[in-house]
Chains A and B, each alone.
Chain A
Amino acid sequence: MPAVTETRETVEKLAKSSYEWGFETDIEMDIAPKGLNEETVRLISARKEEPEWMLEWRLKAFRMWLEMKEPEWAKVSHPPIDYQDAHYFAQPKKKPGPKSLDEVDPELLKTYAKLGIPLHEQALLAGVEGAEEQKRMPVAVDAVFDSVSVATTFRKTLEEAGVIFCPISEAIREHSDLVKQYLGSVVPAGDNFFAALNSAVFTDGSFVYVPKGVRCPMELSTYFRINARNTGQFERTLIIVEERASVSYLEGCTAPQRDENQLHAAVVELIAMDDASIKYSTVQNWYPGDDEGRGGIYNFVTKRGACRGVRSKISWTQVETGSSITWKYPSCVLAGEGSVGEFYSVAVTNNHQQADTGTKMIHLAPNTRSTIIAKTISAGKSDSTYRGLVRMQPKARNARNFTQCDSLLIGDQCGAHTVPYIESRNMTARIEHEATTSKISEDQLFYCRSRGLSEEDAVGLIVNGFCREVLKELPMEFAVEAQKLLQISLEGSVG
């Protein structure tokens, strides 16, 4: 019928998005040959000038990986990945520190500009000498530019507070004891196929250490960018927060448009001691593939936090709009008595994107609490799954969990699925689960449009309203970016 057809066409128009941040920077690269074997692992370790124990750790992980199989339980499908047909190491060639922005590679500056990084911050990122004195910013940016941190800023301010924030490869060399003690203690090398792969070949990522009693004086932010053709990116992030200390860490991702699928397998480990708190926020906007589903990033991530101390708290907030496949379950292991785990998530899929994401809350200790708020938005022909586990172990007396999963469908060719796993081994534990599925109604769209809003503004408003509970958990500057991303992901080509 005409009205129905028209509606579907409108929605398809709405659902189409062009990838605004698809671009590629042409910078001289130092690339390892394609392929993955022990030699590759040794090469990476040697290039990073790592200590012997690190190489052994990697090789052990690599041998475990060889024995493992790619997991098949997630509701995603993709052609088999040829792990030998990728570069595992790429590094921009080093140049002497530029004297001013004029001397910085214009391609790099263009990339920053497209990402919306302010000029003075660009100078810091590009390592312009003296730029640090010119401007004090409230956000520290450790830019991971294709596997290698191009620059780390604000280290001084952080150093004065006793906070260590540096590339993980540097931490391996300079804070070897800390890394040795904690690396793999939350996500062991053999945890899963992708974690093992990451453990063997990770090239960079961030390391954060906040000592006892210190509130980190600024938000820590890292821009991850994948920037070389056929380079899998394997980030490794390790954050340790000691007693009564706290940190808020922001991770933002955009990527250049490209034809071939790219594998990304990151591992993030968080450790919180007594009364410590960690807030980890992510906005992920990697290239999702074109309208037909070609290209796009495969995002297989293992993120896990350990609340080791009493009353410690770990909070994950994520806004996932990109990637052709997302496989990601930021989790909390609540081992400290009275510790708190939180997971706030918005996952948007469009066109042929597939997302299988959620969380695991493992309650080990008494009086532990967890909250899960997951918002899923599916448009186009995409498929989105919330997969969550809440487990109450025998010692988790009076533990509590509240879970809310809401799905919003745009159009009639997409799918949304909710797969909650609930296991309680303690009679005193309380678990609540709520779930809803809804569509943006014609009534809502017409109501907004009759007030003068364009169709795309109306969808944006409704979607942002749907995600409000999650977006309000994001740090202010990220919340604005996230709202924009939601608009871009769903509305692009209307009008």
Chain B
Amino acid sequence: MSDFLKIQGLEARIDADGTPKEILKGIDLEIPKGEIHAIMGPNGSGKSTLSYVLSGREDYEVTSGSATFKGEDLLALEPEERAALGMFLAFQSPVELPGVNNANFLRTAVNAVRRARGEDELDAVAFLKAVRAETKRLSMSDEMLKRAVNVGFSGGEKKRNEVLQMRLLQPSFAILDETDSGLDIDALRIVADGVNSLRGPDFSALVITHHQRLLDYIVPDRVHVMAKGKIIYSGGPEVAKTLEKQGYTQFLEAAA
């Protein structure tokens, strides 16, 4: 169980105009199968970097430590191989793909992942049926499928589109990087429902957020506090509430 996702002593840096900048300074984290964990922390603490390193973005150089996912050396895999293995990242700032039809993109992605997992590809009819069911659940209009990926989408539409992709790709481990930012309360509920309904013994998630609000809807099994590239405190869901009331100061002081 415990070797579902295991991160040990992970250190990573990025090239900032020619000088390497250390961002992750020794992350230890385990997420068992079926659990949802949250990471909270001030800006610049390395939360998004952690999500990028786990999903394989090339700008970051891992200098030390390890990460295994389902027993595989995660850091040795290409981003698409991680996706095939069941990893998904919901982007904080979803990327625009001009001219690329959203439905076509979704189908290409779904079938790429299905192929890699040894499943049959979905034909156009089966795909459309699957996608329609999901857009309905997320209160998205069909019109969004016809537009170019994320082009001209509002902040809320982009986030819903991320959750739509997550649901269609059926990951076993999802990272949600500030998926709540820019969402009004109704949209937040819909997105949370999109995540909660995947909850079960075969779905784990890492929810990155600034606000306790999201964690009212997606109640985590564990909450980790991250600061200056390290996890400085871990606890139950009550940690989020403490943070909301008292801020990060006491955690930072305790860690110092």
- Contacts of A488 on B, CB cut-off 8 Å? none
Q: Does B57 contact A (CB under 8 A)?
A: yes
- Contacts of A453 on B, CB cut-off 8 Å? 80, 108-109, 112
Question: Does the CB pair B18–A1 fall under 8 Å?
Answer: yes
- Contacts of A1 on B, CB cut-off 8 Å? 15, 18
Q: Does B59 contact A (CB under 8 A)?
A: yes
Question: Does the CB pair A450–B83 fall under 8 Å?
Answer: yes
Option from B14, B56, B99 in Cβ contact (under 8 Å) with A464: B99
Question: Does the CB pair B112–A3 fall under 8 Å?
Answer: no
Q: How far is the CA of A1 from the CA of B100 in the complex (A)?
A: 32
Q: Render B53-94 as a binary contact track against A, CB cut-off 8 A, 1 for contact.
A: 001111111000000000000000011101110001101001
A446-B95, A449-B79, A454-B80 known; 13 other A-B pairs, CB under 8 Å?
A3-B59, A7-B58, A447-B94, A447-B95, A452-B84, A452-B116, A452-B169, A453-B108, A453-B112, A454-B112, A457-B108, A468-B99, A468-B101
Q: How far is the CA of A447 from the CA of B100 in the complex (A)?
A: 13
Could you list 13 A-B pairs, sorted by A, with CB under 8 Å?
A446-B56, A448-B105, A449-B83, A450-B56, A450-B83, A451-B83, A452-B112, A453-B108, A465-B98, A465-B101, A466-B98, A467-B99, A469-B99
Q: Which residue of A lies closest to B165 (CB)?
A: A451
Q: How far is the CA of A153 from the CA of B108 in the complex (A)?
A: 38
Q: Does B113 contact A (CB under 8 A)?
A: yes
Q: Does B198 contact A (CB under 8 A)?
A: no
Question: Does the CB pair A452–B80 fall under 8 Å?
Answer: yes
Would you call the interface of chain B mostly helix, strand, loop, or mixed?
mixed
Option from A444, A446, A467, A469 in Cβ contact (under 8 Å) with B58: A446
Question: Does the CB pair A447–B83 fall under 8 Å?
Answer: no
CB distance from B175 to the nearest CB of A (A): 10
Q: How far is the CA of A42 from the CA of B226 in the complex (A)?
A: 86
Q: Does B97 contact A (CB under 8 A)?
A: yes
Q: How far is the CA of A464 from the CA of B55 in the complex (A)?
A: 25
Q: What 3 A-B pairs have minimum CB-CB distances, sorted nearest first?
A: A465-B99, A465-B100, A452-B113
CB distance from A250 to the nearest CB of B (A): 23
Question: Does the CB pair A465–B148 fall under 8 Å?
Answer: yes
Option from B61, B97, B113 in Cβ contact (under 8 Å) with A462: B97
Contact A449/B15 with A3-B61, A444-B95, A465-B100 known, Cβ cut-off 8 Å = no
Question: Does the CB pair B113–A446 fall under 8 Å?
Answer: no
Q: Does A432 contact B (CB under 8 A)?
A: no
CB distance from B159 to the nearest CB of A (A): 14
**A residues 2-58 touching B (CB-CB < 8 Å):** 2-4, 6-7
Contact A442/B58 with A1-B18, A447-B91 known, Cβ cut-off 8 Å = yes
- Contacts of B95 on A, CB cut-off 8 Å? 441, 443-444, 446-447
- Contacts of A466 on B, CB cut-off 8 Å? 98-99
Question: Does the CB pair A464–B89 fall under 8 Å?
Answer: no
Centre residue among B80, B82, B84 by max chain A CB count within 10 A: B80
CB distance from A262 to the nearest CB of B (A): 34
Contact A450/B148 with A462-B97, A465-B97, A465-B98 known, Cβ cut-off 8 Å = no
CB distance from B52 to the nearest CB of A (A): 8
Q: Which residue of B lies closest to A441 (CB)?
A: B95
Q: How far is the CA of A6 from the CA of B78 in the complex (A)?
A: 13
- Contacts of A151 on B, CB cut-off 8 Å? none
Q: How far is the CA of A464 from the CA of B99 in the complex (A)?
A: 8
- Contacts of B97 on A, CB cut-off 8 Å? 444, 447-448, 461-462, 465
**B residues 109-159 touching A (CB-CB < 8 Å):** 109, 112-113, 116, 148
Contact A2/B61 with A452-B109, A464-B99 known, Cβ cut-off 8 Å = yes
- Contacts of B84 on A, CB cut-off 8 Å? 452
Option from B14, B58, B99, B109 in Cβ contact (under 8 Å) with A451: B109
